[in-house]
Amino acid sequence: MFGYVEPDKPELKIREFDVFRGYYCSLCKSIGKHYGTIPRLSLNFDLAYLAVLLDSVGGGMTFGKMERCIVHPIKKRYVIKSNPFIAYASDMNILLTYYSLKDKWADERNLLGACGSLALSRAFKKAKKKHPDKAASIEGSLKELNRLEKENCNSIDEAAEPFASIMREIFECHLIEDESTRKTLGWLGYNLGRWIYILDAWDDLEKDAKTNSYNPILIQFAYKQDNLDKFKEEVKEKINFILTYSLSEAEKAHSLLGVEKNCGILDNIIYSGLIVKTDKVLQGRCKNHEKESI
Amino acid sequence: MKKNPYKVLGIKEGASYDEIKRAYRELAKKYHPDRYRDNPLSDLADEKMREINEAYDTLMKNAGGAYQYQESYDQTYENSSASQSQRSTGSQYQSQSTYSSQYQSQQQNQNQNRYQSQYGYADESELERQARMYVNSGNLNEAQKILDRMHTRNANWYYLQGLVFLRRGWYDRGYTNIQKAANMDPTNYEYRTALNNLKQQSTGYRQNNYYRNTYHNNPDMCQICGTLWCMDSCCECAGGDLISCC
């Protein structure tokens, strides 16, 4: 479900790209330091965005230096020095990945889900201890999501709600003290969450239609086991509207934040990266979500 | 504490008259209350807009960038603003500026009066009025409760229900409900505006693209070669030749 929030790489300045990668690497290292090597594999782009966003909203100075790591042992790379925001993002990464892996195992009996959640269980306990309230609310939302899936919920809006709430919860970081800024962050997260959930549902249409799994788009628009391509053509406009509208709301929250630090990267993601990704997935050019390397 | 007006507008100190105006226009477009109408963050946007208006006011009054921001600014500003604000309602800028929030609210009032007199939610029931009030104040749960209690589902009901969904973030249902309201009562100005606004928001976001995104549409090598080949063939058909070697 994760990894859709990405910058539009060709439009980034090289310096901005280095900084973004610096955050990504720092997040990875932070997970390594706090939770061990295996959980590092679970890192995804959405959380890298969260790290950049929170660190930029929080302001303050950020330092970086050239370092080596296991994945890139030869060449040194620019890595941002870890700070509380980055540590927070890495905790959230563990929580989210653990729950989604566990969910995979419960739903589809996916072996990767079982092994993954087992491997993450120690890290998860540690993260949960750090953020008991966040963990509880994520767990609650996922239960809700499970219930909706079991009941074959026929509304895209309703099905997207739990995941959007999770994202709101995560974006409303306690390290940001100003109440209204937190609220704005929450609305940004909520809308991104909706966008991710619905985009993912669209991405999985073929798979779900074949295996007869739950997919809110198939149910809401009453897909009858016939021509999937025709079905997609028919509902595309509608899905496009929901996705773009969610993004436009996220953009409004983004402009209210008025962040100056790293604004090149953040603007790039909000104004370009997300819409480019939307078009790619809607046109089916992003089959089962291939991940671009960084 | 009052903020540095230059910083609020995002320009250098001592910027020219035109620069200030341009920066103001841009920001006013960005935080325009119209854009945040069905948004739970509308109060924050209003606050931002007020800040921008204030900064613009201050700079304009001080004759195009001659204004000097000092650390003691707070005090002098407080003192002078008290006397200025009394005069300010009639000041030239406010009667000219199309973006100022005062103008905005005036216009909204006018619009509302127009709805009320022409398309009548003047005759809206007590419950509907309450629901509308709760929607406007952002108390969605209460609004939903009232809507659930109502039995007659007229166009206005669908419209209000649509607004509740929009504010909550359920855009698909919000759109469907407002569309239904507009279909049930096609003459209603308010429903039609809301529906158009919804469409405009999402297309606006796409068009308002920060980058021109040229590289996504640029012709690639394949297209260029294909075009050349086509042109060559066409020319040969017509008796000429574009690329002589083939």
pLDDT tens-digit map of B1-17: 567 888 888 888 877 88
Token digits of residue B96: 């000219």
Helix (H) or strand (E) holding A78: strand A77-80
With CB atoms and an 8 Å threshold, state whether B41 touches A191: no
pLDDT bucket at B66, cuts 50 / 70 / 90: low
**Which position has the higher pLDDT, B124 or A191?**
A191
Q: Kindly give, in sequence order, each residue whose CB lies less than 8 Å from that of residue B245, ignoring residues fewer than 6 positions away.
A: none
Q: Would you tell me how many other CB atoms lie within 10 Å of the CB of residue B51? A: 17
pLDDT at A265: 92
Which of A195, A241, A257, A279 would best serve as a mutation to test chain B binding (most B beta carbons within 10 A)? A241
3-state class of A77 per DSSP?
Answer: strand
- Token pair 């945040």 is found at B36
Query: How confident is the model over B211-225, as a mean pLDDT?
Result: 61
Straight-line distance from the first to the last Cα atom of chain B, in angstroms, rounded to the nearest whole number = 75
pLDDT bucket at B76, cuts 50 / 70 / 90: very low
With CB atoms and an 8 Å threshold, state whether B201 touches A184: no
Residue A164, burial from CB neighbour count under 10 angstroms (0-12, 13-18, 19+): buried
B44 and chain A in contact, CB less than 8 A: yes
What's the DSSP call for residue B4?
Answer: P
pLDDT bucket at B178, cuts 50 / 70 / 90: very high
pLDDT bucket at B217, cuts 50 / 70 / 90: low
Which of B38, B164, B170, B199 would best serve as a mutation to test chain A binding (most A beta carbons within 10 A)? B170
Chain A residues touching B51 at Cβ < 8 A: none
pLDDT tens for each residue of B27-50? 888 888 888 887 888 888 888 899
> What is the overall mean pLDDT for chain B?
73
Q: Considering only the beta carbons, identify the residue of B44, B172, B201 that sits closest to A256.
A: B44
With CB atoms and an 8 Å threshold, state whether B202 touches A267: no
Chain A residues touching B175 at Cβ < 8 A: 241-242, 245
pLDDT tens for each residue of B150-167? 888 888 889 999 999 998
pLDDT at B220: 65
**pTM (two decimals):** 0.80
Token digits of residue B71: 């650390």
With CB atoms and an 8 Å threshold, state whether B205 touches A158: no
Q: Considering only the beta carbons, identify the residue of A156, A157, A272 that sits closest to B210.
A: A272
pLDDT at B214 over 70: no
Positions in chain A whose pLDDT score sits under 70: 1, 285-294
Token digits of residue A225: 């086991």
* Nearest chain A Cα distance for residue B237, angstroms: 37
B196 and chain A in contact, CB less than 8 A: no
pLDDT bucket at B203, cuts 50 / 70 / 90: confident
pLDDT at A170: 92
Handedness of CA B113, B114, B120, B121 (dihedral sign): negative
Q: Would you tell me how many other CB atoms lie within 10 Å of the CB of residue B180? A: 18
Share of chain B above pLDDT 90, in %: 8
Q: Considering only the beta carbons, identify the residue of A247, A251, A256 that sits closest to B48.
A: A256
Cβ–Cβ < 8 Å for B195, A177: no
* B233/A4 Cα distance (integer angstroms): 44
pLDDT bucket at B114, cuts 50 / 70 / 90: very low
pLDDT at A254: 92
